[in-house]
């Protein structure tokens, strides 16, 4: 899905992908899997295709500005960052290195999915306990004994969980 053909395009793609995510600065845009393509339109004109994690993701504009700045520093004069929706971004586009960094940063990485549906949940009397095959492990202590507090958290892409072993709350990058 990520395309670049000439050596210069490959280099520009690497540069665009090296920009840190504005909201999760431990991750680069390449690790997040949101830079789709870089195409030269002239000697110093380039078009970048960026895909948002969520349709309403407010970080897209900051990402575009950061990409423009980096490419300008490397000799580009005309930079157009285009937002593309299709094919839709999925948490499966996050690289293995990206997942490792998320966990290190205290965010439980998304599980690799098979269907385009949210993970099914069972509702307990007061809390939401999950009927699951693969657990969301606590990024702090590694315990699999965790519970979902809310499907929505600090940003659109995360859910709020709590570890029942170390009692720490944590964010989980939820599967889409």
Partner 1 sequence: MTATPVTVSATAALALGDDALVLSHRLGEWAGHAPVLEEEVALANIALDLLGQARVLLSMAGDEDELAYLREERAFTNLQLVEQPNGDFAHTIARQLYFSTYQHLLYGRLAASESEFAPLAGKAVKEVAYHRDHAEQWTLRLGDGTDVSHERMRRACEALWRFTGEMFQPVAGLDVDRAALERDWLDSVSDVLRRATLAPPEGPWTGAWSAGAGRQGLHTEPFGRMLAEMQHLHRSHPGATW
Interface positions with partner 1 (CB under 8 A): 52, 54-58, 84-90, 116-118, 121, 123, 128, 149-154, 156, 160, 174, 176
* Sheet of strand 169-173, all strands in order from the earlier edge strand to the far edge: 107-108, 169-173, 158-163, 146-150, 128-129, 122-123
Confirm if 127 and 146 have CB atoms less than 8 A apart: no
Comparison of 84 and 166: residue with beta carbon closer to partner 1: 84
Comparison of 6 and 154: residue with beta carbon closer to partner 1: 154
Confirm if 80 and 46 have CB atoms less than 8 A apart: yes
Closest contact distance (angstroms) between CB of 152 and partner 1 is: 4
Comparison of 15 and 49: residue with beta carbon closer to partner 1: 49
Closest contact distance (angstroms) between CB of 49 and partner 1 is: 11
Confirm if 62 and 68 have CB atoms less than 8 A apart: no
Distance CA 33, CA 94 (A): 5
Closest contact distance (angstroms) between CB of 163 and partner 1 is: 17
Locate 1 and state its tokens: 């899905």
Comparison of 21 and 49: residue with beta carbon closer to partner 1: 49
Closest contact distance (angstroms) between CB of 88 and partner 1 is: 4
Closest contact distance (angstroms) between CB of 55 and partner 1 is: 3
Whether residue 115 is preceded by a cis peptide bond, meaning omega within 30 degrees of 0, is no
Partners of 146 in beta bridges: 163
Comparison of 13 and 76: residue with beta carbon closer to partner 1: 13
Distance CA 103, CA 107 (A): 5
């Amino acid at each position: 899905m990520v395309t670049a053909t000439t050596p210069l395009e490959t280099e520009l793609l690497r540069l665009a992908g090296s920009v840190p995510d504005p909201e999760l600065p431990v991750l680069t845009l390449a690790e997040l899997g949101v830079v789709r393509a870089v195409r030269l339109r002239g000697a110093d004109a380039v078009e970048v295709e960026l895909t948002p994690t969520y349709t309403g993701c407010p970080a897209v504009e900051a990402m575009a500005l950061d990409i423009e700045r980096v490419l300008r520093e490397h000799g580009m004069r005309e930079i157009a960052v285009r937002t593309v929706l299709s094919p839709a971004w999925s948490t499966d586009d996050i690289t293995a290195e990206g997942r490792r960094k998320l966990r290190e940063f205290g965010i439980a990485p998304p599980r690799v999915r098979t269907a385009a549906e949210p993970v099914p949940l069972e509702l307990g009397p007061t809390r939401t306990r999950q009927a699951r095959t693969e657990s969301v492990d606590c990024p702090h202590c590694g315990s699999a004994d965790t519970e979902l507090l809310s499907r929505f958290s600090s940003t659109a892409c995360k859910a709020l969980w709590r570890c029942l072993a170390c009692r720490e709350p944590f964010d989980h990058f939820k599967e889409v």
